[in-house]
């Protein structure tokens, strides 16, 4: 599953503030247990904050890229527990590496005495990041509004509005996306699917992912209805990019796309897809 970090600069400030807050808290917490000067502790804590931020960024990519939606609860627990063990080991190793860079080989016993506390911090950070990532994934599945029963999914309602909107909206042939100082032009046939992402939509192509501040209804109305179907509240799929369709949990269907991504179709979304595919 490919990833574009093109929109991350817009989210640097909250991450930076969290890193500063963590560095200060860790330095204050460690100061009574170590004989090092506080400025050195603050420097080490700042390095640790950056390490945790890097681990968090990797988890934000790795967890959604997995087949999480296809696993049962036991397998999810086993997978996430194993991932947590790996994260804790990596964090502990990098924790001592940052200590060596800042403090050198002086008073190694003091550093080793912090191993239990450092491990606890790593586990706590992993659990927190895991919960945040999973909640964001669930929010992506539910869309921007309250979830309705499948029989009352908002897709049919959106389709009823689609005809009116299409009268006022020209059919899209290309989409322009600004990335920093550059503008990328995405041709409609190259779009694999579009996903709702808060106040933005994520446009996925075979090579990249782009974030655009626009609504799903805009694309639902503007994209060719014979090629693009809103299979879920949060997804619009290019039917020409579908590799296979499989049963998933009762009446829902799982779409496997040609780029390897998997998307769950709702009941009403699958009905709309069948109509387009003449199934």
Q: SS3 for 3?
A: coil
Q: What is the side-by-side order of every strand in the sheet holding 242-247? A: 242-247, 253-257, 262-265
Q: SS3 for 232?
A: strand
**Rounded average pLDDT over 170-192:** 88
The tokens for 202 are: 């994520």
> pTM value?
0.45
Instruction: Say what the pLDDT of residue 39 is.
Output: 82
Question: Could you tell me which residue, 168 or 148, shows the higher pLDDT?
Answer: 168
Q: Which class is domain 150-277? A: mainly beta
Percent of the chain with pLDDT over 70: 75
Instruction: Say what the pLDDT of residue 204 is.
Output: 93
Determine how many CB atoms are found less than 10 A away from the CB of residue 57: 15
Lowest mean pLDDT among 66-70, 197-201, 215-219, 246-250: 66-70
CA 37, CA 34: separation in Å to the nearest integer?
Answer: 8
Question: Could you tell me which residue, 162 or 93, shows the higher pLDDT?
Answer: 93
Instruction: Say what the pLDDT of residue 219 is.
Output: 92
Instruction: Say what the pLDDT of residue 163 is.
Output: 46
| CA dist 168 → 163, 165, 171, 218 (Å) | 9, 5, 10, 11
Instruction: Say what the pLDDT of residue 64 is.
Output: 63
| Residue limits of CATH 2.40.50.1020 in the chain | 150-277
Q: What is the DSSP string of 170-215?
A: PPPSEEEEEETTEEEEEEGGGEEEEEEETTEEEEEESS-EEEES--
Which residues, in sequence order, are bridge partners of residue 228? 238
Instruction: Say what the pLDDT of residue 90 is.
Output: 81
Question: Could you tell me which residue, 38 or 224, shows the higher pLDDT?
Answer: 224
For 195-207, the pLDDT digits (tens) are 998 888 999 998 8
Q: Of 21-35, 88-102, 245-259, where does the model show the most confidence? A: 245-259
CA 13, CA 9: separation in Å to the nearest integer?
Answer: 8
**Rounded average pLDDT over 45-67:** 74
Region of residue 262 (phi > 0: left; psi between -120 and 50: alpha; otherwise: beta)? beta
Q: Mean pLDDT over all residues of the chain?
A: 76
CA 134, CA 172: separation in Å to the nearest integer?
Answer: 33
Residue the block writes with tokens 């506390």: 117
Counting Cα atoms < 13 Å in the Cβ hemisphere of 191 gives 30
Helix, strand and coil percent figures for the chain, each rounded to 5: 60, 20, 25
């Amino acid at each position: 599953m490919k990833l574009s970090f093109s929109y991350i600069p817009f989210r640097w400030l909250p991450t930076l503030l969290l890193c500063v807050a963590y560095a200060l808290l860790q330095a204050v917490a460690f100061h009574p247990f170590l004989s090092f000067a506080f400025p050195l502790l603050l420097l080490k804590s700042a390095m640790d904050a950056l390490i945790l931020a890097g681990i968090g960024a990797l988890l934000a990519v790795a967890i959604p890229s997995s087949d999480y939606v296809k696993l049962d609860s036991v397998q999810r627990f086993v997978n996430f527990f194993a991932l947590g063990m790996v994260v804790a080991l990596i964090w502990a190793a990098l924790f001592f590496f940052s200590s060596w860079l800042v403090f050198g080989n002086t008073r190694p016993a003091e550093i080793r005495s912090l191993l239990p506390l450092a491990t606890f911090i790593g586990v706590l950070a992993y659990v927190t990041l895991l919960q945040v990532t999973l909640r964001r994934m669930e929010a992506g599945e539910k869309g921007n509004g309250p979830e309705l029963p499948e029989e009352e999914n908002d897709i049919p309602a959106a389709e009823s509005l689609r005809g009116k909107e299409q009268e006022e909206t020209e059919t899209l042939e290309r989409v322009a996306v600004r990335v920093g100082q550059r503008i990328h032009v995405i041709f409609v046939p190259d779009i694999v699917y579009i996903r709702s992402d808060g106040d933005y939509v994520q446009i996925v192509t075979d090579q990249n992912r782009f974030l655009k501040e626009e609504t799903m209804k805009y694309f639902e109305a503007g994209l060719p209805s014979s090629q693009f179907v809103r299979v879920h509240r949060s997804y619009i799929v290019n039917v020409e990019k579908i590799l296979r369709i499989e049963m998933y949990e009762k009446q829902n269907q799982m779409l496997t796309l040609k780029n390897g991504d998997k998307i769950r179709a709702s009941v009403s979304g699958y009905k709309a897809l069948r109509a387009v595919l003449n199934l």
